[in-house]
Amino acid sequence: MSLHYTKSGALDMRYSSSRAAVASGNYGMGYGGFSPSPLSSMNYNNIHTKIDGTLDMRYSSSKAIVASQQIYNQPSFQSPTSSPYKNQIHLKKDGTPDMRYKASQALASNSPPQPKTADYSDIRTSDIRDPYQQKKYRAESKSKYKDEKEACHIVDLQVALKCIENRPGEKLSKQQLKEEMKPINELLRMRLKETNRGYDKDMADRICDLLDNKDNRVTRGVQNKIEQMVEAMNSIPANERNNTTDWVSQRLTQLKEKHCV
């Protein structure tokens, strides 16, 4: 079984293999901060995580895991017998520790610094779209309904931008980001204008909500769109891949593993 890790060295709970390892009870304390006792009373598929793979403490299931001392979100946590956090976790609405409480202050003082993330909320799809490619695909279309069609991405740039939102590392400039997005721009296809504006746009919006953990309702149409996006990303030649395409591919694959199984 292939296991995935966060930058802190703990298991990345976004992956089903990591959750299964915890549930099996065969994962020792020496590898990412898990105790050998199994999660026998909990469905490991209901574990909620943040974008960095650590437990999302807004959910009662995550708090129950920490309270039972079966899993530790950070490897620097104290041992189960001395942990001051048991049943004392106070959180704000966004899931972060409420620093008005001593237990939260102690938790923060023992936690490693969070990795720097880049905010791309000021970037629009028009900043990274290549108009020449859209014109080229329109010109090459042999459809007699050419005037009713426009370029549409198999991997929508809207979803791609959502995938890299707040990703770790230094922020790229608009020009750098556009350059790294070129392989995704190459995935342009011709589709009916109504499809592009209607169904496809609706599916992209729903996937963005999934990436934001705003909605857990997954229809077959959303599943098809996610699987289509993963297939498209996998079609990018290895010599054309870069950090941005790899990150988008990783986030989409995580959605597929979570919602399309």
C-alpha triplet 168, 173, 175: angle, nearest 5°: 130
Share the mean pLDDT of the chain: 70
Residue 255: in which H helix or E strand, if any? helix 243-259
DSSP, collapsed to helix, strand or coil, labels residue 150 as: strand
Per-residue pLDDT, averaged over 14-21, amounts to 72
DSSP, collapsed to helix, strand or coil, labels residue 118 as: strand
Range scoring the smallest mean pLDDT among 64-68, 99-103, 170-174: 64-68
188-192 vs 149-153, strand pairing mode: antiparallel
The pTM is what? 0.51
- Could you tell me where the DSSP H helices lie in 110-198? 125-128, 131-140, 157-164, 174-180, 182-185, 193-197
pLDDT band at 128 (very low <50, low <70, confident <90, very high): confident
